[in-house]
Amino acid sequence: MQKHNDSNKPLFTGFSAPDRARIDQALAIVAQIPDDPHYYRPKGVDVAGILMSFNIDLKTILAAILSDPRLTNLNPRPNITEQFGDTVGALVKDVNWLNTLTVYTPEMARQPNQAETLRRMLLSMTQDVRAVLIKLAYRVQRLRNLSRESYEVRHFISRETLDIYAPLANRLGIHQLKWELEDMAFRYLEPQIYRRIATSLASKRVHRETCINSFIAQLQKSLADAGIYADIYGRPKHIYSIWKKMQRKQLDIEELYDLLAVRVIVDNLSNCYTVLGLVHSHWQTIPKEFDDYITNPKENGYQSLHTVILDTNGNRIEVQIRTREMHNFAELGVAAHWSYKEGGGHDAAIEKSIASLRKLLEEKDNDEALVENFRNDLFGDRVYVLTPAGKLIDLVKGATPLDFAYAIHSEIGHRCRGAKVNGRIVPLTYTLKSGEQVEILTAKEGGPNPNWIDHNLGYLKSSRAISRVKSWFKSQQQAQNIATGKAILDKKYQQLGLKMANLEELARHFKQPDTDKLLEAIGRSDINPRQLAAFFKIPELEAPPAKARQQKSPAKSAVSVAGIDNVQTTFAQCCQPVHGDDIIGYISHNKGITVHRKNCENIEHLSPEKRSQLIEVSWSSQKSSHAVPIVIHAFSAQNLLNDVSQVLAQAKIHISNALLNTHPDFSADLNLTIQIENTDQLSQVLTKINQLPNIVDVKRKT
């Protein structure tokens, strides 16, 4: 074991003695893994070695070592959290999750929005974004050993790298990893093109170095004569980025002028333009290739001067001039650079979050606050879930299975009657969490429930889904009104021989744009029988005769069972359904049929044997009163009971029970049981109570 640790000593330099002791402790755990010459997947120690060049903190190094996949085979498995603390334990857990994630499919390459959603899901579900950095290093190590694997595996890993992980590295500003990920993946995907570009670069390497070194020497002399200090160096070009530019500009590699590129870093802004003037005065320039991104920054904040000159031998050399602050902004991982490269827009929230990431990698203390800032700023309002087929759906935070159904398709939403999350039936009001798989259970026909658009009941969070439900009801109401209006005219004015021409005349008279709007207005009673009678100059039409009264039937129940209204039923006390709730009946052995809400936990957790005792029930037209418990949270207990009682009295709502609990901070919880006829009335009451001063929240108890 000691020999194993000694072999890694040159790798982990620059740490203090206590930190080095912690690293040795981690290496000792890894040393327990039996040697296997056939194991060529990434190892934690190798991954930690890759990360050493990024000057990252001790916890990240420890997590990289201890997230070695082979540790899961140790018996007993080491308790990472107990030995190294919560942060390292959480990091290892996240990296292990990322290393086993299998969401990506090749089809995502043809759906850029799916790839972007997956990238965001990876970041949002990772408790500490440093885990993503470790995962990127694992992917680099995987690519370095990919030649040992089958063609299919090489192609899949490389495609996933270009679609998901290289953009993530770019997004986090870790360009050294990004370039290596891109070049190695491209090498396996397009080996012939990669070889051709690499060969071309190699054959001209001496020429390139000679041109760049000569230009740098001349420029350094000119700057020294002007008393300007600057860092000047050749800017490397990577094979994948060269190929992308060849594709974008439809040029061969010999025609790409910016294979010769130099970057000049100066101390202040005025020196940027001084250097530019010197470059333009000593070398011939190509005017169309000059860009001033300092005076006119990119939308994402990227700043630099770009110009192209011709050296004495006619070689084109691109020169970038910027201050050190601009250089750090472009190179050290803030959002501007990745947004510019990916063609995205300016996003202040992401810029702030990436700045937090950089601090997180550089700071040694207070990392918990920075981790939380990063997650809250960037992903506080989104949730990412999967369909059974593996498609990713991006939803607003707090979304429910019903929101998911409408995100798939409006018809799926309209016909949604239930949902499974990770294979388990859940209420339609269940709050979805990132990474969950959602399956929607639909009816063959039917429409949404009016309760779905009641914000107090919590069925829908997405404004888009709420709009779809409202549109459905509006269209249904329109169709119903048109049918009603047509029935009125057919029945009442049949003796007049009305035809379409008459309807159009009638529409013009009542200033309706078309006959459908006319019929809708009649069906809605906006145009009443008196107005119609006046138009046709006939006696006012009487209301249709009431149907002959039926013989007195047995007393009706508030609930119908199999279409029968006089079946004896009782309401379950566990969920206390109210007229308007989705309900179901349970045939008990000693209480007859008990009516529950469909999302009642007792119903959802019934055993398969007892589910056979469920029976479909529905609300009848019979009015009834229901005891409904509600809970009110308030900032202050002062006048709370009195104010709420007045609201309920004005609404003619009876209170059957009340309990007020106050707290040391003067806040209060008021638990009431009120008598309600239906969910519409309940929603109106909750809304009115919520408008009272000092109210934090009011909701129905579930």
Q: Is 60 exceeded by the pLDDT of residue 692?
A: yes
Average pLDDT over residues 199-206: 75
Alpha helices in 172-317 (DSSP H): 175-189, 191-203, 205-225, 239-249, 269-282
Q: At what angle do helices 151-160 and 175-189 cross, to 10 degrees?
A: 140
Q: Is 80 exceeded by the pLDDT of residue 686?
A: yes
Q: What element of type H or E holds 396?
A: strand 392-396
- The two structure tokens encoding residue 548: 């002959």
Task: Average the pLDDT over each of 191-200, 266-275, 292-301 and give the range with the smallest value.
Answer: 292-301
HSE of 150, CA atoms in CB hemisphere, 13 A = 3
* CA 230 – CA 271 distance, rounded (Å): 9
pLDDT (0 to 100) of residue 550: 39
pLDDT (0 to 100) of residue 381: 64
pLDDT (0 to 100) of residue 494: 56
Q: Is 50 exceeded by the pLDDT of residue 343?
A: no
Condensed to tens digits (0 to 9), the pLDDT of residues 136-157 reads: 898 899 898 888 888 888 998 8
Condensed to tens digits (0 to 9), the pLDDT of residues 294-323 reads: 988 876 566 899 998 888 888 888 899 999
HSE of 215, CA atoms in CB hemisphere, 13 A = 31
Q: Is 50 exceeded by the pLDDT of residue 500?
A: no
680 or 173, which is more confident?
680
Name the phi and psi angles at 220, rounded to 5: -60, -40
Tell me which residue has tokens 């009125």: 488
* CA 689 – CA 653 distance, rounded (Å): 12
pLDDT (0 to 100) of residue 220: 92
247-261, 538-552, 642-656: range with highest mean pLDDT = 642-656
- List Cβ<8 Å contacts ≥24 apart for 577-581: 577/626, 578/626, 578/628, 578/676, 578/678, 578/679, 578/682, 579/619, 579/623, 579/624, 579/626, 579/677, 579/678, 579/679, 580/450, 580/451, 580/619, 580/678, 580/679, 580/680, 580/682, 581/451, 581/679
Condensed to tens digits (0 to 9), the pLDDT of residues 388-428 reads: 887 778 888 889 999 999 988 988 998 888 889 888 888 88
pLDDT (0 to 100) of residue 307: 92
- The two structure tokens encoding residue 567: 């079946």
Max CA distance (Å), the chain = 114
pLDDT (0 to 100) of residue 323: 92
pLDDT (0 to 100) of residue 372: 44
Condensed to tens digits (0 to 9), the pLDDT of residues 426-467 reads: 888 899 988 788 999 888 877 888 888 887 888 898 888 888
Condensed to tens digits (0 to 9), the pLDDT of residues 231-243 reads: 998 876 688 888 8
* CA 590 – CA 522 distance, rounded (Å): 52
Tell the burial category of 661 from Cβ atoms under 10 Å away from its Cβ (0-12, 13-18, 19+). Answer: exposed
How many other C-beta atoms can be found within 10 angstroms of the C-beta atom of residue 697?
10
Please name which of 269, 285, 270 lies closest in space to residue 319, comparing C-alpha atoms: 285
Q: Is 90 exceeded by the pLDDT of residue 99?
A: no
Please name which of 694, 588, 687, 684 lies closest in space to residue 636, comparing C-alpha atoms: 694
Residue 450 DSSP SS3 = helix
- Could you give the C-alpha distances from 73 to 43, 70, 460, in angstroms and in order? 14, 6, 44
Tell the burial category of 77 from Cβ atoms under 10 Å away from its Cβ (0-12, 13-18, 19+). Answer: exposed
Mean pLDDT (the chain) is 77
Q: Is 90 exceeded by the pLDDT of residue 31?
A: no
pLDDT (0 to 100) of residue 658: 82
How many other C-beta atoms can be found within 10 angstroms of the C-beta atom of residue 588?
13
Please name which of 349, 199, 322 lies closest in space to residue 266, comparing C-alpha atoms: 322
Residue 339 DSSP SS3 = helix
* CA 447 – CA 251 distance, rounded (Å): 56
167 or 285, which is more confident?
285
* CA 215 – CA 187 distance, rounded (Å): 32
pLDDT (0 to 100) of residue 553: 40
Q: Is 90 exceeded by the pLDDT of residue 266?
A: yes
Beta-bridged to residue 674, according to DSSP, are 628, 655
Please name which of 319, 317, 322 lies closest in space to residue 209, comparing C-alpha atoms: 317
* CA 182 – CA 170 distance, rounded (Å): 10
259 or 277, which is more confident?
277
**Parallel/antiparallel/unpaired status of strands 583-587 and 614-615:** antiparallel
3-state secondary structure 25-82: HHHHHHCCCCCCCCCCCCCHHHHHHHHHHHCCCHHHHHHHHHCCHHHHHCCCCCCHHH
Beta-bridged to residue 696, according to DSSP, are none
| DSSP structure class, residue 431 | P
Average pLDDT over residues 253-281: 84
Taken in order 73, 77, 83, 89, the sign of the CA dihedral is positive
Residue 1 DSSP SS3 = coil
**Parallel/antiparallel/unpaired status of strands 261-266 and 316-323:** parallel
Side chain identity at residue 360, one-letter code: L
Q: Is 50 exceeded by the pLDDT of residue 612?
A: yes
Average pLDDT over residues 601-628: 80
Residue 393 DSSP SS3 = strand
pLDDT-derived band at 229, boundaries 50, 70, 90 = very high
Side chain identity at residue 421, one-letter code: V
Q: Is 60 exceeded by the pLDDT of residue 9?
A: no
* CA 550 – CA 534 distance, rounded (Å): 35
* 702 close to 427: Cβ distance less than 8 angstroms: no
Query: What whole-number percentage of the chain has pLDDT above 90?
Result: 11
Q: Is 50 exceeded by the pLDDT of residue 288?
A: yes
| DSSP structure class, residue 433 | -
* CA 286 – CA 316 distance, rounded (Å): 9
Respond yes or no on whether the N-terminal peptide bond of residue 76 is cis (omega within 30° of 0).
Answer: yes
Average pLDDT over residues 490-498: 56
Tell me which residue has tokens 């998901």: 164
Question: What is the pTM for the complete model shown?
Answer: 0.53
Residue 668 DSSP SS3 = strand
pLDDT-derived band at 342, boundaries 50, 70, 90 = very low
* CA 205 – CA 388 distance, rounded (Å): 52
Condensed to tens digits (0 to 9), the pLDDT of residues 242-251 reads: 888 778 777 7
Average pLDDT over residues 178-193: 90
